[in-house]
C-alpha cells in the first residue's frame, strides 16, 4: 500500500444519493485495507441544495477534509456542482461526472440562467474528464434511483481494487430488494466510463 493519501470529492445536490455513494466508497476502501476518513457538508440538502462529501484513504489518514487543490478525483453527480468544485481538484486530477443538469431555484424562478456548455468547459479545464449518462444507464438497470451506483461503477475504473469488494459493499449498504438493479447499474457504469 502506498503512503500517499487519495482524495475523492463527491459533489451534487440533495436527494442524489451522494451520502450513500460516499458510504459505499468508504466501505470498499476499508475492505481493501486502507485507513479511511470521510466528511459530509449538507447545505439545504433536502431542498435540492449543494451536498459535498470528502473521502480520503491511504495507509494513514489524519484529516477528513481535502485541502483545496488536492482532490485526486472530483466525482460529480450534477454538471453545475461539478463545475463549481473544479478549484478543489489537483493539477493531475480527474473528473467523473454525471451528464445530469438540475436547475437551482434561482434558475427555476428566472433570476439566473443555467450556465451553457458546462460539459465542454469541464473538459477544457481537466484533461481526464469522463462524463457519464447516469440516468440513461440507471433506467437500463431498471431503476432511475440507481444513478449513484452507475456513477460508482464508473469511479471504480480508477482504482485497482478487487471488484468483489464493490459487490460486497453494495450488498451491505443497499436495500436487499434493490440489490440486483444496483449490481447491474454498477456494471453499466463501469462499462461506460471513458
Distance CA 137, CA 7 (A): 26
pLDDT for res 1 = 43
Instruction: Please identify which residue in the block is written with the cell numbers 449543494.
Output: 50
Give pLDDT tens digits along the chain (194 positions).
Answer: 457 899 999 998 877 778 899 999 999 999 999 999 999 875 554 556 778 999 999 999 999 999 999 999 999 999 999 999 999 999 999 999 999 887 666 666 777 777 789 999 999 999 999 999 999 999 999 999 999 999 999 999 999 999 999 999 999 999 999 999 999 999 999 998 76
Q: What is the CATH number of domain 6-191?
A: 3.40.920.10
78-92: burial string, b at 16+ Cβ within 10 Å, e else? bbbbbbbbbebbbee
Nearest to 136 by CA among 64, 73, 57, 191: 191
pLDDT for res 23 = 95
pTM of the predicted protein model: 0.90
Distance CA 134, CA 38 (A): 24
Q: Where are the domains of the chain?
A: 6-191
Burial of 3 (0-12, 13-18, 19+ CB in 10 A): exposed
Amino acid at each position: 500500500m502506498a503512503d500517499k493519501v487519495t482524495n475523492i470529492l463527491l459533489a451534487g445536490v440533495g436527494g442524489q444519493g451522494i451520502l450513500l455513494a460516499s458510504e459505499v466508497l468508504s466501505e470498499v476502501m476499508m475492505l481493501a485495507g486502507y485507513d479511511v476518513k470521510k466528511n459530509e457538508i449538507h447545505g439545504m440538502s433536502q431542498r435540492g441544495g449543494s451536498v459535498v462529501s470528502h473521502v480520503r484513504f491511504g495507509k494513514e489518514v489524519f484529516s477528513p477534509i481535502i485541502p483545496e487543490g488536492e482532490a485526486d478525483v472530483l466525482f460529480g453527480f450534477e454538471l453545475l456542482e461539478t463545475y463549481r468544485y473544479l478549484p478543489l481538484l489537483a493539477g493531475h486530477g480527474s473528473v467523473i461526472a454525471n451528464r445530469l443538469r438540475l436547475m437551482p431555484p434561482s434558475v427555476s424562478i428566472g433570476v439566473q440562467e443555467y450556465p451553457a456548455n458546462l460539459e465542454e468547459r469541464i473538459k477544457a479545464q481537466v484533461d481526464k474528464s469522463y462524463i457519464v449518462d447516469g440516468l440513461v444507464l440507471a433506467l437500463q438497470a431498471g431503476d432511475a434511483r440507481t444513478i449513484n451506483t452507475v456513477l460508482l461503477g464508473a469511479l471504480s475504473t480508477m482504482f485497482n481494487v478487487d471488484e468483489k469488494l464493490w459487490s460486497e459493499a453494495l450488498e451491505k449498504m443497499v436495500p436487499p430488494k434493490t440489490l440486483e438493479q444496483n449490481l447491474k447499474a454498477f456494471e453499466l457504469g463501469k462499462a461506460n466510463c471513458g
